[in-house]
Structure 1
Amino acid sequence: MKRILEEIIGYQQLVVNLKKQKMPVEVLTSFPEFSSPTRSLKQAVAKSEQGIIAEFKRRSPSKETINLRADVMEIAQSYEQMGAAGMSVLTNQRYFGGSLEDLQLAKSVCNLPILRKDFTVDAYQIYEAKAYGADAILLIANALPSEKLEELSVLAHDLGLEILFEIHEAEEIEKLAPKHIDLIGVNNRNLRTFEVDIQQGLDMLPHLPSELLKISESGIQDTATIEKLIQQGFNGVLVGEFFMKQNASEHNTNNL
């Protein structure tokens, strides 16, 4: 996984460099959404009983096919109807089959705060996220040095976006000061073995700042697991693959 992460980050920077030429930041700042107020994912999770952030993704590096024909507008509406606290939209085309248009379409049909989930490596992507309607962005601790993480988080907050800071190991929390973090995403996937272990995430809890909201990510397939995670101290969960394998009409937290 770490090799895949390095490959993705390298590719992402190439894509960003091309985008900067085709659509400069000055153009992005002229988009209607750029001057629109954002919705708080942090507040939505805090107010929610289970803090479910429902994810939209068609595929991933580990699963080539999850739901390639998924309709993002239909699914966004069903996530809202089922009572999700927020929605995560994968915008990476090459590795996840997603796009910024998916984010734009989701935002147009639901009132959920929306997380742009992508591999953020450049300030340009922060402006891009705001321009296309994101309310929050993902920063991955393992992907960038501390100085870059801080630079991107400050810019995101300046633009009114919140930060979901994703870690895979407890010590990674030290890479970014708590004042720059709105939610901590604790990924249950081991980057060395690619295996998912819920206990790995639970073991990190005591080492994380108590004042920050904590989201459990990866491998969540049923209600019992969600209840266990919330009881143990998580404020919410990010669930993607399970929902994406269902039809939109089946999206119901009671079915988890």
Structure 2
Amino acid sequence: MNPADILKKIIATKHLEIKAQEDQREAIKAQAYAVGPTKKDFAQALKAQSGLAVIAEAKKASPSAGVISPNFDPVAIAKNYAALGAAAISVLTDRDYFQGSLDYLAAIRKEVDLPLLRKDFIIDELQIHEARIAGADTFLLIAAVLTEEEIRNFLAIGRKFNMEALVEIHDEDEAHKALAAGAQIIGVNNRDLRNFTTDLSLTGKLSKFIPNDKILVGESGIKTGKDSRLLLDCGCSAILVGESLMRDPQKFKELQEGQV
């Protein structure tokens, strides 16, 4: 697959997934409201850490890395992250491109008490309702694939469930879009989703556009304590780490403390 086409293909697949569930939309919404708001405060969890709060990701595979964990056990992975001191856990739920599942999130919810983030390509409120049913306490919004109005609307829907979304940006225009929509937690994805190249300096470049009262999260390409120190020094209070921790969970303390 041409890297430039991956994001377009993923979003096209999401539209098909939503269409296939259209007749269940109202039932899914009703079930989400029956579950009710979360009592786990994702935003607070990202503030209540020394060093960097780590959102540790349960991630079986990705289009760029292929299969990362052939013997993927999401509950065991999440329990280990919790024991290591993760502030929250991100769970990949995209099936076709990341080999994820909402079932993984639901299974982790039964065993782990940390805030859980649904990591997927959210393009419809139905996916937010699904996330809450599965036990998610927050979800990812990707500014590159959403309008300002969509971000604003999805943030508002999330807040009805006390779910404060992580809004992901990759350039200055997306930073302004996210802020105008009212995002409180802003993640800078150092990986360009259009071609999967990574530039760790991007967080520092975009941090100057993010007011101090927002929570800044560094995402992608974080492999060493030097990397996380760079993000800490440019104003991040949290980092989201997937592949590095999946391959070597013992890097956790190094990444959390920004050890060089």
1:24–1:179 distance in 2 versus 1, CA, 3 Å: closer
Is the Cα contact below 8 Å between 1:165 and 1:184 reproduced in 2?
A: yes
Give the CA deviation at 1:38: 3.3
Say whether 1:40 aligns with 2:41: yes
**Aligned partners of 1:38 and 1:19: how far apart in 2?**
28
Note the C-alpha offset of 1:34.
1.9
Partner of 1:189: 191
| Alignment-derived partner of residue 210 in structure 1 | 212
Pick from 124, 127, 138 the counterpart of residue 125 of structure 1.
127
Match among 137, 140, 143 for residue 139 of structure 2: 137
CA RMSD of aligned residues (A): 2.0
Q: CA deviation at 1:255?
A: 5.4
Q: Report if aligned partners of 1:82, 1:252 keep a CA contact under 8 Å in 2.
A: no
For residues 45 and 180 of structure 2, what CA distance do their matches in structure 1 show? Answer: 19
**Is the CA contact 1:154–1:180 (under 8 Å) kept in the aligned structure 2?**
no
Q: Report what 1:64 is aligned to.
A: 66
Deviations 1:77-129 (A, max 9, x none): 11110001110000001000110010011111111101100000011111111
Asked if residue 73 in structure 1 is aligned to residue 75 in structure 2, the reply is yes
Provide TM-score, normalisation by structure 2. Answer: 0.90
1:116 aligns with 2:115: no
Contact 2:89 2:115 in 1 (8 A): yes
For the structure 1 residues 145 and 38, does the alpha-carbon distance in structure 2 shift closer, same or farther, using more than 3 Å as the test?
same
Aligned to 1:12: 14
Q: Distance in 2 between matches of 1:251 and 1:225?
A: 16
Conservation of the 8 A alpha-carbon contact between 1:163 and 1:180 = no
Partner of 2:258 in structure 1? none
- What residue is the counterpart of 1:24 in the other structure? 25
Amino acid at match of 1:253: F
Are the aligned partners of 1:141 and 1:167 in contact in 2 as well (CA < 8 Å)?
A: yes
Q: CA deviation at 1:56?
A: 0.8
Contact 2:60 2:99 in 1 (8 A): yes
Deviation, 1:150, is: 1.5
Q: Is the Cα–Cα contact under 8 Å of residues 88 and 114 in structure 1 kept in the other structure?
A: yes
Letter of the aligned partner of 2:210 in structure 1?
A: L
Sort the Cα spacing of 1:193 and 1:184 in 2 relative to 1 into closer, same or farther, 3 A.
same
Give CA deviations for 1:144-180 in whole Å, capped at 9, x if unaligned: 1222221111111122211100001022122234673
- Alpha-carbon distance between aligned partners in 1 of 2:231 and 2:133, rounded to the nearest angstrom: 34
Query: What corresponds to 1:254 in structure 2?
Result: 253
Q: Is the 8 A contact 1:58 1:67 kept in 2?
A: yes
Partner residue in 1 for 2:165: 163
Q: Which runs of 5+ in 1 are unaligned?
A: none
Name the CA distance, whole Å, in 2 between partners of 1:182 and 1:215.
11
Q: 1:66/1:146 Cα in 2 relative to 1: closer, same or farther (>3 Å)?
A: same
Aligned residue-pair number? 252
Q: Using the alignment, how far apart are the partners of 2:4 and 2:105 within structure 1?
A: 27
- Are the counterparts in 2 of residues 88 and 116 from structure 1 also a CA contact under 8 Å? yes
Alpha-carbon deviations, 1:45-94, whole Å to 9, x = none?
Answer: 10112111000111111122111321111011111100011100000010
> Which residue of the partner structure matches residue 235 of structure 1?
237
SS in 2 for 1:198: coil
Report the 3-state secondary structure (helix = DSSP H, G, I; strand = E; otherwise coil) of the residue aligned with 1:67.
coil
Question: Mean alpha-carbon deviation: is it higher for 208-217 or for 192-201?
Answer: 192-201
- Judged with a 3 Å threshold, the aligned counterparts in structure 2 of structure 1 residues 120 and 225 are, in CA distance, closer, same or farther, namely same
Percent identical across equivalent pairs? 33
Secondary structure of the residue aligned to 2:208 is: helix
